[in-house]
Amino acid sequence: AEWSVMRKFIHNATQKRNRRNTRVERILRRVSRELSVLSVDSKISEDGGNAGKGKRTGLSQGADGRIGHDYRIFQEEGWTILAGKNGHDNDILTTTSKGDDHWFHAAGYPGSHVVVRSKDGKSLPPSVRKLAGGIAAWYSKAKTKSKVLIHWTRCKNVTKRKNSPPGQVMVRRYSAFSTGPINPIGRPSALSRL
């Protein structure tokens, strides 16, 4: 009988520890996501959104094109464009973006999630939309195609299913348009098509 009580005590203690560890892991993931967003926001405010202005293209980026996790950051006409580098960072970028931010992805191909930060109710200019779509195509498996179908929606329409692989999301409502891949770093011929 004593063994039975002891076994039950150990079982209960183990379950309690596992629940506590799960809670701590959830909190750590949330803090990590929030820190990555703060890192992006502080990088943008440090340089006033003008880091590394490209003289020939009018396009700019952070020091080496990366901030926070593996995000690439670009500026176009005062709009901030963020591009994820891998599935995990795509998840963080997409889930920590505001609901009215703009989300872009190359339809039917694995690749970066591209988010354009919204600006106080202003509508997205066609040139910024085309550039964000081109960046999404460039950082995807479709980068060698001449035209790529791009899905575009607000971040509030993009959700992540529980236990789905990194980078995999569900999109409720979206618009679609075609554009060619645009290398945002150092290819004047691609950038001149803007």
Q: What is the mean pLDDT of residues 1-23?
A: 87
Please give the Cα distance from 87 to 93 (Å, whole number): 10
Per-residue pLDDT tens over the stretch 91-141: 888 888 899 999 999 999 999 999 999 988 789 999 999 999 999 999 999
Most confident of 75-84, 149-158, 159-168: 149-158
Residue 61 has a pLDDT of 41
DSSP per-residue letters across 70-92? TBEEEEETTEEEEE-SSHHHHHH
Which residue carries 């309690």 as its tokens? Answer: 16
For 127, the token pair is 């040139």
Please determine, for residue 71, whether its predicted confidence score (pLDDT) is greater than 80.
no
Please give the Cα distance from 152 to 136 (Å, whole number): 10
Largest CA distance in the chain: 82
Residue 135 has a pLDDT of 94
Predicted confidence band at 22 (pLDDT cuts at 50, 70, 90)? confident
Of 3 and 90, which is predicted with more confidence? 90
156 in Cβ contact with 118 (< 8 Å): no
3-state secondary structure of 106: strand
For 11, the token pair is 């079982």
Query: Taking the CB of residue 50, how many other CB atoms lie within 10 A of it?
Result: 10
Which residues, other chains included, contact 38 with Cβ-Cβ below 8 Å and sequence gap of 6+?
Answer: none
Query: Taking the CB of residue 122, how many other CB atoms lie within 10 A of it?
Result: 9
The mean of the pLDDT values for the chain is 79
